[in-house]
Amino acid sequence: MSIHFEKVNYIYQAGTPFEHQALKNVTVSIPKGSYTAIIGHTGSGKSTLLQHLNGLLKPSSGHVTVADKEITSTTKNKELGELRKHVGIVFQFPEAQLFEETVVKDIAFAPKNFGKTQEEAEKIAIEMADLVGLPDNILNGSPFELSGGQMRRVAIAGILAMKPDVLVLDEPTAGLDPKGRLEMMQMFEKLHQRQQLTIVLVTHQMDDVANYASHTIVLEKGEVIAAAPPKEVFKNPQWLLEHHLALPKATKFAYELQKTGKFSFDKMPLTEKDLAAAIANSLKRGGN
């Protein structure tokens, strides 16, 4: 399911003293089947852009096309029901939305609402729980007795139960410890690979962009300032620093090494593995 923004402007609270233009003439695509990271400073418009993906927000002008559905300022909510099944959005701290008395019932809520029988919905729920790595023995217990990371998995399974083609994640690892973060990111990677899900990830974690994303969109003050694979976006550390963006750890380390004048890199490494290979190469060419 490909997604395209064409000259999209979005203005919050238009015509009031609080008016704020959060997206400015955004023309950008999210390739079908990609793992696209959206990065940018606080307030650059990431969440605003994300909410256009299923019409929670509609462009003030311009249009968004998701598969064959065009969303404009005049699109009615009742036209968006089908689209919302195809684009699942996991907002920050999704576990706050859990409410059912058992894990299975919580995950089964959406399919039941979309017309499945109780039995069908629970079957889907059990499959989805397995997909997100929840153990069987918690399924009939309360979601509120689980750890934070497991509660989040329940909430994500609830979104996956709609069988979306696109999974949108707004800082999905916020508040998790390093182990929980790694496990969660590995789970999304698995979903991307095995279910061919298009993933759209809003993140401040540049290492996650480097490790997992195939495409990157960089926002600054509501404008798209770059849209390219991570290796392109991170190849010029100076440009990123000028735009007050962080670098992946390995890229930063290589950049600092390069500044000593003793190492040079043809391609900036993005990951620890790339970094080790790049240092070895530089040494072979006569670095010291």
Ligand X SMILES: Nc1ncnc2c1ncn2[C@@H]1O[C@H](COP(=O)(O)OP(=O)(O)OP(=O)(O)O)[C@@H](O)[C@H]1O
> Would you tell me which residues interact with ligand X (CB under 6 A)?
12-13, 18, 20, 22, 40, 42-48
What is the maximum span of the chain, computed from C-alpha positions, in angstroms?
68
Locate 187 and state its tokens: 């789970």
Choice between 105 and 215, CB closer to ligand X: 215
State in angstroms the smallest separation of the CB of 48 from ligand X: 3
H or E segment to which residue 203 belongs:
none
Q: Which is nearer to ligand X, 45 or 269 (CB)?
A: 45
Angle value at C-alpha 103, between 98 and 105, nearest 5 degrees: 85
End-to-end C-alpha distance for the chain, whole angstroms: 49
Give all strands of the β-sheet with 223-228 in edge-to-edge order: 87-90, 166-170, 198-202, 35-40, 215-220, 223-228
Nearer to ligand X among residue 47 and residue 271 (C-beta): 47
Min. distance of Cβ 6 from ligand X in angstroms? 19
Q: Quote the least distance from Cβ 22 to ligand X, whole Å.
A: 4
Q: Which is nearer to ligand X, 46 or 181 (CB)?
A: 46
Smallest distance, ligand X to C-beta of residue 4, A? 19
CB atoms within 10 A of CB 136: 9
Q: Taking a C-beta distance cutoff of 8 angstroms, is the pair 128, 121 a contact? A: no
Phi/psi of residue 214, nearest 5 degrees = -105, -15
DSSP secondary structure letter of residue 68: T
Cβ at position 53, least distance to ligand X in Å: 13
In the complex with ligand X, the residue whose CB is nearer, 42 or 238, is 42
